[in-house]
Amino acid sequence: MHIVKSVGVMSVAKIMGLVYGCLGLIFVPFFLLIGLVGSMAGQQKTPFAGAIGVFLAVLMPLFYGVLGFIMGAIGALLYNLFANLVGGFELELESRAALPVAPYPMIPPPTPGI
């Protein structure tokens, strides 16, 4: 049994920032579609609704990435604090035995009936 006593705050924050930034990319098509519909739906044909949709589509992954970074750092700090109080995650790890390496190339047996 292994116990994770602490995690690197910056490493968790960087990974979470990248993960949430990629999740923010999922919303890009929706904001572009909303901007397109908004620019076509009004009585006055103004490009501002489309521009706002494009602006939000560019801003959303950055916003999600920054928030993921901040929340990852806060989460790692809280984990380290609570792990000191009550112990960390208990992990049971299993090591796999290395496969033996044949000194010669393996030739598959012939398949009958072919």
Distance of CA 100 to the CA centre of its chain: 36
Task: Give per-residue pLDDT as tens, 15-67.
Answer: 999 999 999 898 888 878 877 777 777 666 666 666 777 787 888 899 999 99
Cβ(17)–Cβ(43) below 8 Å: no
Q: Is the pTM of this model over 0.85?
A: no
